[in-house]
Amino acid sequence: MTDEVLTDLLRERGQRVTSQRLVMHRFLRDQRTHLTAEQVLAGVADALPGTALPTVYATLELFEELGLVRRVQTGGGTMVFDPRTDPHHHLACRRCGAIEDLEAPVELAGVLRRARRAGFASEHAEVVVSGLCADCQRSAAGHTIR
Ligand SMILES: [Zn+2]
Ligand SMILES: [Zn+2]
C-alpha cells in the first residue's frame, strides 16, 4: 500500500494523517517477519525520534483495524504483529518466543459455524501450534547451542 492509499484510508475513517503513521506503515510494509511493538519502535527510532512505546501500540492497533497488520497472540504471552494479512497459521516456540508461518490447509468452516451457533460473532480464526522450535529442542536435549 502506498502512502497515498494509506492517507486516503485514514481520512476515510476520520483518522489524522501523521508522519508517525506514515513512517511506521512504510517500515512494516518492508518487513517479511513478525515483529513485537518493541522491534517496531527500534525500527522507526531514527526516523521518529522521541516516539514512545504506547504510541507504537496505538498505531499498530489502528493498523490492525484497517487490516494492514494482524496480531498474533501466542500461549507464551508473546504478542507479535504480522504484516502478512492473508490467512495463514503459526508455529510458536514457548521457550524462545520464535514465531514462524505455517503453511497448511486447515478447514476452519466447521469451527466458525459452531462459533456462530454458540452466538459468537467471529472475526478471525487461525491455528497456533505451540511447542519447541528446532533450536530449543537441541538445547533441551543437552547439546550446546550454536
Ligand atoms: Zn525456541
Ligand atoms: Zn505470520
- The predicted structure's pLDDT at residue 75: 63
Which ligand is closest to the CA of 132, given by its number?
1
Q: How many angstroms separate the alpha carbon of residue 22 from the centre of ligand 2? A: 22
Q: Which three cell numbers stand for residue 105?
A: 490447509
pTM over 0.85: no
- The predicted structure's pLDDT at residue 103: 92
Q: How many angstroms separate the alpha carbon of residue 106 from the centre of ligand 2? A: 15
Which ligand is closest to the CA of 92, given by its number?
1
What's the rounded Cα separation, in Å, for the pair 107 and 112?
10
Q: How many angstroms separate the alpha carbon of residue 98 from the centre of ligand 1? A: 6
Q: How many angstroms separate the alpha carbon of residue 3 from the centre of ligand 1? A: 36
Q: In the sheet where 89-93 sits, what is the strand order?
A: 99-102, 89-93, 128-131
Of 129, 101, 95, the closest CA to residue 31 belongs to: 101
- The predicted structure's pLDDT at residue 98: 86
Tens of pLDDT along the chain (146 residues) come to: 889 999 999 999 999 999 999 999 999 998 888 999 999 999 999 999 999 999 999 999 999 999 999 988 776 677 899 999 888 999 999 888 889 999 999 899 999 999 999 999 998 888 989 999 999 999 877 655 45
Q: How many angstroms separate the alpha carbon of residue 89 from the centre of ligand 2? A: 7
